[in-house]
Each structure stands twice: as C-alpha cells, then as structure tokens.
Amino acid sequence: MATWGFGLRAKSILALVAACLLALLPASLLGWQLVEGVRDYFGEAYARNYTQLKREQILGLLDRELALAKRLAGSQLTRQWLADEDAPAKKTLALREAEAFRLDLHDHAYFIASGISGHFFFNDDSKPFSAQPRYTLDAAKAEDSWFFATLRRPEDYNINVNVDVPLQITMVWFNVVIRDRDRAIGVAGAGLNLREFLAEFINTEEAGVTPIILARSGAIQAHRDTKLISTNQAGSTARAEQTLAGQLADAVDRAELGRAMENAAARPGQVASFWATLDGRRQLLALSYVPELKWYVVTAVDLKTAQVLDGDWLRTAVLVVVGTLALLLTAFALAVHRLVIHPLRRLHRSATAISHGDFQVSVPADGRDEIADLGRAFATMAEKLRAYTENLEREVQERTQALEAANRDMRAAHQKISDSIDYASLIQRAILPARQLTQQLGEHHFVLWRPRDVVGGDFYVFRADGPRYLIGVVDCAGHGVPGALMTMLARAALDHAMSEAGIASPAEVLRRTDAAMRAMRAMLQDTPLPRAIATNMDAGLVCVDLENRRMVYAGAKIPLFWSDGETLASVPGGRRAIGDRRQGEYSDEVVPLRPGTTYTLVTDGYLDQSGGELGYGFGNARFASLLREVARRPLREQAQALEQALGEYQGEHSQRDDITILSFRFD
C-alpha cells in the first residue's frame, strides 16, 4: 500500500511537469530580460572580484615589506645597539644584520634612526655601504617632524605615502618604532617605490575595464590618462577635473560616489558598487578602501564592452535552459509543496512544540506513505521522550535538594571556622603590649603590625622596670594559624625568661628562651613527622636605660637600625634563630642613646615583600635609604611614610609574610 501511495504521487508530479511544458512558449518572451539580468549580476560579481584582486595585490606587496621592517625594528641586536650607541661591536653586529634584511627588501633600502642621538643611518644600492650616520635629525626642522611624531605615537608603526606627480614616483614609507621595554628608542623601516607596480596596475588588457586609484579626498592618483592625475601631492586641493567626482556629470552619480566611498572606508576589505555615467557610457563602479595607504581601489566596468558573458551563445542557451528549468522547477515546487513540504511542516511544528516542553502534540500519522511512517515513529519517540524528561526532572530535583543541604552544611562549617579564626585574632591582638607601649612611650614610638592572614606569626614585646624598658620584635616560623600558635608558645617562653633573668641583659633573655624552645623541640621528636613542624623564631631585643642614656641590644637574625637623617648604622643579630637545631650564640651590644635618633626593629616580612616591575623583594638597601630619609620626621609621619612606600612598591603583588616594624626615639 505504501508503494501504491508513492506511485500516485509520482503520477501527479509527471502530470504537472507535462502541463508546465506547454507553457514554454510564453516564457521564451521573457528570456531576453532574464539574460540582461544575468549579465548585470555576473558583471557586478566580476567588478567586485576584480577590485578585490587588485586590492589584495597592493596589500600583498605592503604586507611583505611591513613584515621585514617589523623584524628589523624588533631585532635584539638593533635594540642593544641603540641602547648603547657608543659600543662599536654592537653597532657592527646590528648593521651587519640590517644588511641581510636589505637584500630581502623590494628596493634594497633600509633606514635606522636613533631616538637618543637623532642619528639617521641609511643604506641602499645607489650608494656604497656606510656605517656612519647620513645626517642627524632635528626636532626644529619641519622635514624631520615625521620621526619625532612617530616616536610619540602609541602605535608600533605607521605607513606614509609620498606622491611626486612631476616625477611620476609614488613612495610608501614603513616607519616601525624600536622599543626597549616600554621606551621608544628609535625608528627603523624601509621605502617602497610603487612606480612599476602602478604601471602594471592601470595597464590592463581587459576590454571595457578601467582601474583607478583615488586618494582619501577623491583625487585621482593613478589612471591611464595621465592628464587626470592630481598634481597636488596630498590630493586635498585637487582640481575638479582631477577627481573622480569631477568626471561624473550627474549630481546623483556624485552623491552615489560619496556614499560608496563612506561605506568602503567604514568597512575596509569590503567592496561597495554603484552605477554611474562615466566617459559618456553607463558603467558599473566598484570601490574598496586600503586604510594602510588611505587609497581607494576603483574599477570601472562597461558591461557592454567587457567580456563578462558570451552574448550569442548565452542568449540561445539561456532562453532554452533557463525558461525550461524555470517552468519545470515551478511545477516541481508546487508538487513537492503539496505532497512533501506541507506534511513536513506539520511534523516540524510538532517537533518545535516538543522542544519547548509541550509533549501533548499531534503528528501527521495518517496515510500509508513514507512521511506517515515517519510521523508514527516520531509520535512513539515523543512519548518516550516525555517519560524520560519527567524521570530526569524528578532526579534533578532530588539531587538539587541534596546539593543545597550539603551547601548549607558547608557554609555553617565555614562560618564556624571563620568565627574561630576571628576570635583567635582578637586573642592575639589582646596579648600584644600596644596599650603599655602607648602609656609608657606615647609619641616616642610607633608600631606597624600587619599579619599576612587574619592571624600571624609576628609579635612585639614590651616590659618596663623603673627607668628601664625592654622593647623587641619576634618573627616565629610560619604564618596564619600555625604561626599564631607558635606566637603563644614563644610569648610564654619569653615571659618566663624575662621573669627569671630580668631585662638588663637581652642576650641572657634570648639564651633562656632558646633553651625553652629547644626543650619543646625535643618533646616533639616523639610525634609523627617532626620535620614538618618548625619551632624556630627570629628575635631582636633592646634594653633602654634612660638614666644612663644607653641601650643594650641582642638579636637572633634581626638587626637594630638607627639613623639621625644624615647617617645610618646597624647592629646585626646572631646568625642562628632561636630554637634552631644547633644552639645559637647571643651577646649584648651597648649602643649609645642619642637624642633625635630613630631606632628601628623590623622582621623580614617587610624586607622580603615582592613588588616593583620585576617582582623582586623590597631589600635592605631600599629600606636603609628610606629610614635615613624619614629619620627626622615625627614618628607618626615615619609610620605613614613606611607604610605608603611599602604599598606603592607592592602594587598588585600579594603579601608574602607577616610584617612588623617597631621604632622609637627619645629626644
């Protein structure tokens, strides 16, 4: 039965085709108009392709020269020479490499101009090779302004076109900036003479085809008739007869030319076309813009003269073939629409509804042909898809609920951890002697304490004993929560050492603290993975004796700096940290307490902070220079200056370690 249904449809199609053949005679009367339309269509395609081809020929020549100029400007040898022009070896290597580039350039000519000295080096085939500058560029001279303007531009290169009409020479100059990192140190490039290229460009053997080149202003730059070429180099003030618009007598055609030029300039690489009367004939004009040269490539095609189509043969063939095919296709389209397209549209509407989630659809399942079989199969598929979708939605809902519950638990756990760490931060800040320092020293001190995380491994100490004070900073191994736990142990060890030994000898305090930390390290030897636990710490302690105007200092890898604004000195700490595997040796150093001198203790977090362009550490030298610079300022201003200097140097880099600075001064 399916075969019988399909046979009926085949008979219907044959009957429609036979009826369509009877209509061939009236269709032949429309053939000539169809041929004209086909010729216009292919003529426009021919004009567009021809214009695109000419544009690509120009760009191909430019791209090759520009690529070589970029390689010359980007050469490491060229940059090294211009950065150190007085080095003859670098100059020799750079010019030797430039000579190799010169042989590959189209005109065998290159130039290199230094942005530091202004020397202009040039070599070509017309002169013997010279390693000496041809002349020196001067910013005050108008003819040298191109060079200094190129150095100031943000672009890496620019292309200049110089048209000399009396000599019939068109030069294109490629100027590429030579950069040392972000600094422009010179310009390198090459010149390209387009005289031969333009001669080949306009002298085409294609009948009815006229290639033209226009400047951005519309002035004619290249044409078979040399009288029409603009005698003005810039083309901005060309006479009317030397512009393409001046060759168009119709104002409507000139307006179409303006719109086509705007469209081509707005979309470089695309071709804009329009019909106009040129040289007394109706011609098709196609334009494409070359932004590198600020030129329009124009092709004027006279379709009655150009060999776009073979008229005699095509007229007969088109009348017969096109007319026959048009009628047959019309009849076939009607038959296919009735027998195939209409049922398929119903099937498509059903499929679209299913894609939007509506499974209650009716499909064309009536009939006994192939389309009906397809409809019934589609109905079965839709039912299975509906059941599968319902099961999938149910599973997704269940998994979403489970995921939401897991997220709630995770957020609660994260909140507990955050609350615990915040509370630990409050405890750590509470044990710092900030209030005691303020009560005893007031404006004679400042503290810059910045842990890397919420809690950290740095802390500072202060203890008063009559007219004597013990001031110090400690940097425990690690940071974050492990570092904060170590500060508790280290603080307890220090307090115990100060209680036993007093504060008169910082070295004795360090020795007792070292003994306590080493004992704790011995206790950890029985725990798993003892090597993963770091118990050492750096420290610097100063005992200030106001009655005798002197200080006693002892340190473990932390030095004491002091400066009066003119000089800067320091006392280094011991070479071993407290709690190290090998016992350290610490000694007291007596330092005079001078009025107007600022004394500073700093942990390595400040000195090691990465920043700057290369990401290096802040460093001891930069820190010493900064201390000397701010030493005479009030201590509050010193704290602001140190914090500002660190922030500017750090930039976008993250903080690497805990940072602590403690400074004091007694006037």
- Give per-residue pLDDT as tens, 140-167: 998 888 889 888 888 888 887 766 555 5
Place of tokens 């150009």: 306
Average pLDDT over residues 65-87: 90
Kindly report the average pLDDT of the chain as a whole number: 83
The SS3 assignment for 450 reads strand
Comparing 347-361, 443-457, 587-601, the range with the smallest average pLDDT is: 347-361
CB 500 within 8 A of CB 512: yes
Residue 232 has pLDDT above 60, yes or no: no
Query: If residue 123 lies in a helix (H) or strand (E), which one and from where to where?
Result: strand 119-123
- Give the residues across from 183 on adjacent strands: 180
What distance in Å separates the CA atoms of residue 325 and residue 21, rounded to the nearest whole number?
Answer: 10
Instruction: Report pLDDT for 278.
Output: 86
What distance in Å separates the CA atoms of residue 554 and residue 552, rounded to the nearest whole number?
Answer: 7
Query: If residue 283 lies in a helix (H) or strand (E), which one and from where to where?
Result: strand 281-290
The predicted model scores a pTM of 0.44
CB 561 within 8 A of CB 627: yes
CB 657 within 8 A of CB 604: yes
Beta strands in 335-481 (DSSP E): 445-450, 458-465, 468-476
The model's pLDDT over 543-581, given as tens digits with 9 standing for 90+, comes to 999 999 999 999 999 999 999 999 999 999 999 999 888
Phi then psi for residue 185, to 5 deg, are -115, 0
- Give the residues across from 170 on adjacent strands: 163
Q: Can you give the length of the chain in residues?
A: 667
**Cα dist. 41→37, 48, 308, 315, 362 in Å?**
6, 11, 10, 15, 46
Query: Highest-confidence range of 332-341, 433-442, 473-482, 578-587, by mean pLDDT?
Result: 433-442
What distance in Å separates the CA atoms of residue 254 and residue 524, rounded to the nearest whole number?
Answer: 94
Query: Highest-confidence range of 64-68, 163-167, 383-387, by mean pLDDT?
Result: 64-68
